[in-house]
Structure 1
Amino acid sequence: MHLKSLTLKGFKSFASATTLKFEPGICAVVGPNGSGKSNVVDALAWVMGEGSAKTLRGGKMQDVIFAGAGDRKALGRAEVSLTIDNSDGALGIDYSEVSVTRRMFRDGASEYEINGAKARLMDIQELLSDSGIGREMHIIVGQGKLAEILESRPEDRRSYIEEAAGILKHRRRKEKAQRKLVGMQANLDRLEDLTEELGKQLKPLARQAEAAKRAATVQADLRDARLRIAGAKVVELRAKFEDSQQQAEMLAAQVEELSAQLEESSQRQAEVEAELAEVAPRTEAAQKLWFDLSTLSERISATQRIAAERASNAGAQVPYAG
């Protein structure tokens, strides 16, 4: 396994896309001061997951993005891709060539990819740690790192030796497993506390369950009784409805018969009124004639009385000749 290529796009001084190709053996990057040699080492550490801006010789992580120089404007993101020849299968992945990419934007968002597929930082660290490389492994010795190792305390020097021997990854896995065990033990303790607490609540809960069961039975009986009462009311109302319907039909028949009689009476009344209108003039003439005749009769009667009185008076005045 060996590094095959390193591609930098907008990383620190590499504004344009730059690809460095490596061959098996020793490769050297030479150049004057300020040409960006250290930036190549920083790019290697950064693409493998370095999260300290101080280690990358910056104040904040966004400082790895090209900030502009001369006529070149600042860029919005930095991207580094590291290609590893895995023909010997040293990395635990089924690819003969593995490409690890890290991308950062001005807003601080980061993206990781393994062979073009989205990945997590943890995935990259796990993949590289199995081969003895990574952002904190001994393979990267930056400026001042050698002096730091030589001047370090015995316990720090021991960590460097363990790191070079490949023990560090196992220790970290052990620590991770221990943290999981501690968390699991805490969960077990909590589970025991909950079990004990639930055990204390079982008897009251059993009584409550029995009461709830009885209540459910009573409620079922009550629902059944209510349904029976409702059914009886429905039958009663249906019978009343049928009776009312029959009465309504009888009343409708009576109304129809009375309507026919009323129509007949109205027709007879109209005929009588027509006859009355026809007879009325003759009745008035007869009444007038009756009044006239009555008046004439009274006059005649009066004349007769006067004549009788005169005749009577005349008979009394004639002398008797005998």
Structure 2
Amino acid sequence: MYLREVELIGFKSFADRTVISFNPGITTIVGPNGSGKSNILDAIRWVLGEQSSRELRTVQMADVIFNGNENRPPLGMAEVTITLDNHDGTLPLDYNEVQITRKVYRSGEGEYFINKSPCRLKDIVELFLDTGIGTDSYSIIGQGKIDLIISSHPEDRRELFEEVAGVLKYKSRRKVAIKKIELAEQNLLRLQDVIAEIERQLRSLKRQAQIAQRYRNLQCKLKEIEIRNAWFTYNQLQGNIEDEKYLLNEKKKAYEELSKTITLIETQQEELYLKRLDYEKEVANQRDELHKIENDMAKLENELNIHLR
């Protein structure tokens, strides 16, 4: 694997798009002071994820954006892309060519890309573990860094050897795994507490369920009793209704017979009344006849008395 190309847009002194190509082997960049040689190294360090403004020789991260000059206004964004030849498969990606891109805006927002696909800084750091390339690696050694390595503590030199030997990646993964295990153990403890609480609630719910079941059983028995009572009352009422119907029918029959008798009596009364009228008329006629006879007799007696004198 080797660095094939660096593309800079708006990074520090590189206002315009600048592409620097490299060939396998040793490449030397020469130029007068202030021509931007160190800015190229800063760009490579930056695109690999450098987060220290001091390492980039700036006050804040936004200072890597071209700040303008007497001929050019300031830009709003800086972008750096490096292209790596990966034919030997050093990077764990199925690509012969790998591009890493980083962007930063005046607002402070930043973006990372691997082969033009958005990613996280963590993805880039993990990609270069044990390759000897990275922000904390010794692939980029600035001025005074060699003396610092020589005078460093044995632990720091050990870390350097572990990185070169390819151990650092596994130590990093081991640290992550330990953290995950610790987190899992904490989650397990919390889960045990949750399980204990659930079991307590479950016991309470079982007791409540038993009480509810007894209540339902009593409700069913009560309903059965109510149904039996209702059925008994219904049958009793039905019997009473039949008895009342029978009595009503008998009374109806008696009423009908009585009505017939009353009608017959009324008819007979009417006939008797008519006969009475006839009798009274006949009596009146007889009285008139008797009165006439009595008058006639009186006349005859008077005549008889006259003749007897």
**Mapped partners of 1:13, 1:221: distance in 2:** 93
In the other structure, the counterpart of 1:121 is 121
Task: For 1:86-235, list aligned pairs within 5 A.
Answer: 86-129=86-129, 131-212=131-212
Q: Cα distance, 1:214 vs. partner?
A: 5.8
Check whether the contact 2:85–2:96 (CA below 8 A) recurs between aligned residues. yes
Q: CA deviation at 1:128?
A: 2.0
Q: Closer, same or farther in 2 for the Cα pair 1:88/1:208, shift >3 Å?
A: same
CA distance in 1, matches of 2:159, 2:132: 14
String of CA shifts for 1:215-274, please: whole Å, max 9, x gaps. Answer: 67889999xx9xxxxxxxxxxxxxxxxxxxxxxxxxxxxxxxxxxxxxxxxxxxxxxxxx
Structure 1 segment 286-301 matched on structure 2, within 5 A: none
What's the CA shift string for 1:40-97, capped at 9, x where partnerless? 1111111111111121111111111111122111110000000011112221111111
TM-score (ref. length: structure 1): 0.64
CA distance, structure 1, for counterparts of residue 165 and residue 141 of structure 2: 15
Match of 2:245 in 1: none
TM-score, normalised with respect to structure 2: 0.67
| Local SS of the residue matching 1:129 | coil
Residue aligning to 1:36 = 36
Task: Verify: 1:63 aligned to 2:63, yes or no.
Answer: yes
Q: In 2, Cα distance between the equivalents of 1:219 and 1:105?
A: 74
Tell me the SS of whatever aligns to 1:29: coil
| Alpha-carbon distance in structure 2 between the residues aligned to 1:163 and 1:172 | 11
Aligned-partner residue type, residue 107 of structure 2? D
Shift of residue 204, structure 1, vs aligned partner? 1.5
Change (3 A) 1:14 1:207: same
Q: Which runs of 5+ in 1 are unaligned?
A: 226-322
1:197 CA displacement = 3.1
Contact 2:130 2:163 in 1 (8 A): no
- Alpha-carbon RMSD: 2.6
- Counterpart of 2:61, as a letter, is M
For residue 113 of structure 1, what is the amino acid of its counterpart? F
Contact 1:91/1:127 (CA < 8 Å) preserved in 2? yes
Distance 2:79 2:216 in 1: 68
Secondary structure of the structure 1 residue equivalent to 2:128: helix
Distance 1:193-1:71 versus aligned 2 partners, 3 A rule = same
Equivalent residue letter for 2:185: Q
User: Residues 194 and 31 (structure 1 numbering): CA distance in 2 closer, same or farther, change over 3 Å?
Assistant: same
| Amino acid in the other structure paired with 1:31 | G
Identity of aligned residues (%): 49
- Mapped partners of 2:11, 2:215: distance in 1: 74
- 1:13-54: CA deviation from partner (whole Å, max 9, x where unpaired): 111111110000000111111111111111111111111112
Could you tell me how far 1:142 is from its partner in structure 2? Answer: 1.3
In the alignment, is the contact (CA less than 8 A) between 1:137 and 1:164 conserved in 2? no
Gaps of 5+ in 2: 227-309
Distance 1:49 1:184 in 2: 30
Structure 1: distance between partners of 2:150 and 2:61: 29
Counterparts of 1:179 and 1:99, CA distance in 2: 31
